[in-house]
Amino acid sequence: MYAGGGSGEVARGLSDIQVAAIEGRAGWLVRNALIDKMGEPPAGTTPRYRLDVRLDDQLEGFGLLSDDTIGRERRTLRARFQLVDTASDEIVVDATAGSDAGIDVVSSDYATIAAEQRALENLAKDVADRIVTNLALRLRDDARP
């Protein structure tokens, strides 16, 4: 899949994808992670594809303690993404990716909020990895004779 390194067919295909803006903080994190992994189309060129991503970020408490307080949380980040051919507006890939993380709720509100934010940052990177892998596999299959 990575034959040719940065100048290979898959790497060139990934760098020809424009990542559309994604709503919210989670969207900003995922978009930046995607651009870091795929690169950006060269300035002044029209990208071959556009990647549209919609996120669902959920934070839910569970693991009730004896005093009816929450002892654990789960943060879930799910993405539905579509790779659109910019020339024809045809959807080439329509798929989902997601990941989740467990968070301990401690007595310090600051520590809990920091853990929730760190979990979101890690989930954004993981979801971006999954999206890039899916797109790379598709581009590799399209490049085969």
Residue 1: predicted pLDDT = 47
- E strand or H helix at 72, and its extent? strand 70-85
Q: Which of helix, strand or coil describes residue 53?
A: strand
CA distance 18 to 20: 6
Residues of the chain with pLDDT under 50: 1-4
Beta-sheet strand order (sheet of 70-85): 17-19, 49-64, 70-85, 91-104
| Total domain count, the chain | 1
DSSP structure class, residue 65: -
In this prediction, residue 39 carries a pLDDT of: 86
17: domain range? 5-143
pLDDT for 13: 83
Which pLDDT does position 142 carry in this prediction? 72
Return the CATH number at 41. 3.30.160.150
Taking the CA atoms of the chain, what radius of gyration do you get in angstroms? 18
